[in-house]
Every structure is written in structure tokens, then in C-alpha cells.
Amino acid sequence: MASLIRLRQLPVVQKCVWNHLNRASTRTISTSKKNSDSAATASAEAKTEEDKNWVSYGFDYSSKEEDTNVHNASFFFSVTLCLVFGGFAWSYAPDTLNRDWTQREAFLELRRREKAGLPPIDPNYVNPKSVKLPSESQLCDVEIII
């Protein structure tokens, strides 16, 4: 958000917005009697005014048409292809980490334990007889923190 506020303060952006607002609010009226002359004059005036106020997008500073084409193509590829289709592919991609599988297996295991009358999680997950703990003489003065 701060970058948008800083961008608003740039003189180039202010000129672009001001020229766009001025161009939309002014209309030229031709008083010639021939319709063909008025259309040709209005289109010529519009071309010169349009070229005079042209601000480049930064892709090509000499050709307005090339600059606009590259600008439109770059935004099409970046926004439409990368963001839209990339987001779609990422959202609907198969589960490579098997999260769904592990959750299904956990539910099946819980259902099996409930039917067998066992607690959901066994307090003795590891058989206590298989664990070999050191004796008191081996521990000596070692502090045991639980």
C-alpha cells in the first residue's frame, strides 16, 4: 500500500492521469460545411494530440504501437497465463504429499480401534518390555528432567 502511495506522488503518473482526464473532458467542434472535411480534420487533430501526449509504458520509447503491443503481451502472459492458469493448476494439482491418504488411514484406524473397544490412542505405544532403561547405578548423579 505504501508503494502505491509513493507511486501516486511521481510526476510522470500525475501527468498521465491529468492528460487522460483533460483529454476525456475536451471535445473539438468543427464548423466546416462538408462532412468529409470535418471528419478528416478531427481525425488528424486527434492523431497529433494523441501522439503529443503519449507516455511510454517503458518497453519501447520510439514506437507507440510497438510499446503498446509489448505491454499488452507482457501483461497477458504474466497475469492470464501465470497467475490465472498457474493458480488453477496449483489448486487442482494431485496430492503429492499424500495428505488425503494419511487422513483417510487415520480415520480407518480410529474406526477399527472403536469397534474393537480399544482407546483411540494406546498409552503404551511402544511395548514397555521392549524398552531397556539404564539401572540406578548406571545413572549415578545424572539429573533426570521430566
Rounded Cα distance, 116 and 109, in Å: 11
Find the domain containing 68 and state its range.
59-96
Coil vs helix vs strand at 122: coil
pLDDT, tens digit, 9 for 90 and up, residues 7-26: 556 665 566 555 655 555 56
- The total of structural domains in the chain comes to 2
Report, as an integer, the average pLDDT of 67-75. 94
Using an 8 Å Cβ cutoff, are 47 and 41 in contact? no
Q: Are residues 45 and 87 in the same domain?
A: no
Q: 69 and 45: one domain?
A: no
Judge if pTM exceeds 0.85: no
C-alpha 102/C-alpha 43 separation (Å) is 68
